[in-house]
């Protein structure tokens, strides 16, 4: 007699598992998902950066100045988000797995340059902005797709220009 409730319980569990498998294969919700737009960061009250951005010149983007890396600075992150709407390009610019050079002065602006490891001449990028973080633009060069031109992006509007991205 004790086996009947156990068998009935096992049958109910098996039926539940079949129902869950059908629900797991339903891709309707996944197909309709739209990721949220990237939000601009804001410093906590009393946590505003005191060190000027020019202090990063000569340092690598991953070096800290005042305890913060270049792309982790609130105003730099906001300038990058405003200039480049393409999340993939933003991630490439800020990635730590690419080759970078020290941040440099470029036409009275601050610039950070990077490239793909072992492919710098053919695949590179540069982020340029004023010392107050205004006027940000990003340059992206992919020789295979663009030849001797580069794509410059400001306010999420791309423009093609001749030549490679500026570098130190």
Q: Would you put residue 54 in left (φ > 0), alpha (ψ -120 to 50) or beta?
A: alpha
Token pair listed for 120: 């710098």
- pTM of the predicted model, to two decimals? 0.72
Query: CB neighbours (10 Å) of residue 144?
Result: 8
Task: Determine the Cα–Cα distance for residues 50 and 42; give it in Å rounded to an integer.
Answer: 15
Lowest mean pLDDT among 5-9, 139-143, 155-159: 5-9
Q: Which of the four pLDDT bands, split at 50, 70 and 90, describes residue 98? A: confident
Over residues 107-121, the pLDDT tens digits come to 999 999 999 999 988
- In this model, does residue 101 exceed pLDDT 80? yes
Look at residue 35 in the predicted model and tell me its pLDDT: 67
Please report the domains of the chain, with CATH numbers, ordered by start residue: 53-162 (3.40.1420)
Look at residue 100 in the predicted model and tell me its pLDDT: 95
Task: Determine the Cα–Cα distance for residues 5 and 25; give it in Å rounded to an integer.
Answer: 31
For the segment 72-78, the average pLDDT, to the nearest whole number, is 92
Over residues 5-35, the pLDDT tens digits come to 555 555 555 555 555 544 555 555 566 777 6
Look at residue 96 in the predicted model and tell me its pLDDT: 86
Distances (CA, A) of 99 to 105, 117, 130, 142: 18, 6, 23, 15
Look at residue 47 in the predicted model and tell me its pLDDT: 61
Look at residue 13 in the predicted model and tell me its pLDDT: 54
């Amino acid at each position: 007699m004790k086996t009947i409730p156990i068998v009935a319980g096992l049958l109910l569990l098996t039926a539940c598992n079949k129902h869950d498998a059908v629900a797991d294969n339903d891709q309707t919700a996944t197909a309709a998902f739209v990721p949220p737009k990237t939000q601009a960061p804001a410093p906590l009250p009393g946590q505003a950066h005191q060190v000027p951005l020019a202090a990063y010149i000569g340092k690598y983007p991953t070096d800290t100045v005042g305890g913060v890396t270049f792309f982790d600075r609130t105003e730099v992150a906001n300038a990058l988000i405003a200039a480049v709407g393409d999340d993939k390009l933003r991630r490439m610019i800020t990635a730590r797995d690419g080759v970078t050079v020290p941040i440099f002065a470029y036409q009275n602006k601050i610039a950070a340059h990077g490239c793909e490891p072992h492919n710098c001449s053919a695949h590179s990028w540069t982020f340029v902005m004023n010392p107050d973080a205004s006027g940000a633009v990003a340059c992206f060069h992919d020789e295979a797709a663009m030849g001797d031109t580069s794509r410059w992006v400001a306010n999420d509007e791309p423009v093609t220009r001749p030549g490679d991205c500026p570098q130190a």
